[in-house]
Amino acid sequence: MTTIFIISAPSGSGKSTLVSRVMDQEPNLKFSISYTTRKPRGNEVEGVNYHYISREEFELRLAGNEFLEHADVFGNYYGTHMSELEKARLGGYDLVLDIDVQGARQLKDRIPDAVSIFILPPSRAELEKRLRARGEDSEEVIQRRLREAAEEIRNYGRYDYVLVNDQVGESSSNLAGIVRGERVRRVRMEERIAPILETFE
Ligand code: ADP
Ligand code: 5GP
């Protein structure tokens, strides 16, 4: 049984940092590679960070119902392809989806037992500091991200878990704790339990 972990956060909260730590720590967990119409940034690689496609191709795939969820984020399309979930089910691993609040909502409606996690920065000032420290964005982009963050964080109430990313070590161990805890929920253990019970018959 594949468990989907949805992670959303305003840009600069530390989502990538926490996700990469937890992926290193937890076995059998893979990152879902989305399709996007935005251009690759910096050292991003096709098929590793995203699958980069044109708007035309995205719209064709959308019309063909190929996406589990999709959204228009800052003027670009982003979507999770059905095949990511199919591959995970066949391969017997869990999936981490880094998607925005619109996509998270669609996915929860479609797959209610997906686990959703919202990452909050400790404060606006700290978020601003992290965006600057990352050194990726112009002043204009930083100001835009801060405005967007104010909107995005209003959606925290739709998520199952909220992590305040203050100390990175504590946040990543809490994230790993969520993954481990969710993995041993009874509904997800049934396949393992059945053969154990058989040994008692
Ligand atoms: P996101 O993926 O949410 O946009 P990043 O993981 O790129 O964010 O983190 C933004 C910046 O903040 C990076 O420079 C990162 O090293 C730093 N950072 C992440 N988590 C913390 C933390 N808990 N405390 C201080 N700095 C952090
Ligand atoms: P970025 O362009 O900075 O990589 O991502 C911008 C936003 O798009 C982030 O909030 C990220 O979570 C979101 N995003 C990335 N992939 C997907 C996806 O497949 N679906 C949705 N709905 N959002 C995505």
Q: Kindly give the distance from the C-alpha atom of residue 11 to the centroid of ligand 1, in angstroms, as a whole number.
A: 9
Mean pLDDT of 49-59: 98
Mean pLDDT of 131-159: 94
pLDDT at 67 (0 to 100):
98
Domain count, the chain: 1
Q: What would the 3-class secondary structure string for 119-162 be? A: EECCCHHHHHHHHHHHCCCCHHHHHHHHHHHHHHHHHHHHCCEE
User: Using a 6 Å cutoff on CB, does residue 96 contact ligand 2?
Assistant: no
User: Using a 6 Å cutoff on CB, does residue 53 contact ligand 2?
Assistant: no
Band (pLDDT 50/70/90 cuts) for residue 42 is confident
Mean pLDDT of 13-42: 96
**Encoding tokens for residue 201?**
């018959």
pLDDT at 135 (0 to 100):
87
Pocket-testing residue among 7, 83, 98, ligand 2, by greatest number of atoms within 8 A of Cβ: 98
pLDDT at 175 (0 to 100):
98
User: Using a 6 Å cutoff on CB, does residue 17 contact ligand 1?
Assistant: yes
User: Using a 6 Å cutoff on CB, does residue 11 contact ligand 1?
Assistant: yes
Q: Is the pLDDT assigned to residue 77 strictly greater than 90?
A: yes
Mean pLDDT of 9-21: 96
- Least distant ligand from the CA of 173: 1
pLDDT digit string, tens, across residues 110-133: 999 999 999 999 999 999 999 999
Q: Kindly give the distance from the C-alpha atom of residue 155 to the centroid of ligand 2, in angstroms, as a whole number.
A: 15
Judge whether 197 and 23 are in contact, CB under 8 Å.
Answer: no
Query: pTM of this prediction?
Result: 0.96
Structural domain range at position 190: 4-198
Q: What is the CATH number of the domain that holds 63?
A: 3.40.50.300
Mean pLDDT of 155-182: 98
Mean pLDDT of 78-100: 98
Q: What average pLDDT does the chain have?
A: 96
Band (pLDDT 50/70/90 cuts) for residue 71 is very high
Pocket-testing residue among 13, 37, 78, ligand 2, by greatest number of atoms within 8 A of Cβ: 78
Share of residues in the chain with pLDDT > 70 (%):
100
Judge whether 38 and 53 are in contact, CB under 8 Å.
Answer: no
Which pairs count as long-range contacts for 182-187, CB under 8 Å and 24+ apart, including other chains?
Answer: 182/3, 182/5, 182/115, 183/3, 183/94, 187/113
Q: Is the pLDDT assigned to residue 157 strictly greater than 90?
A: yes
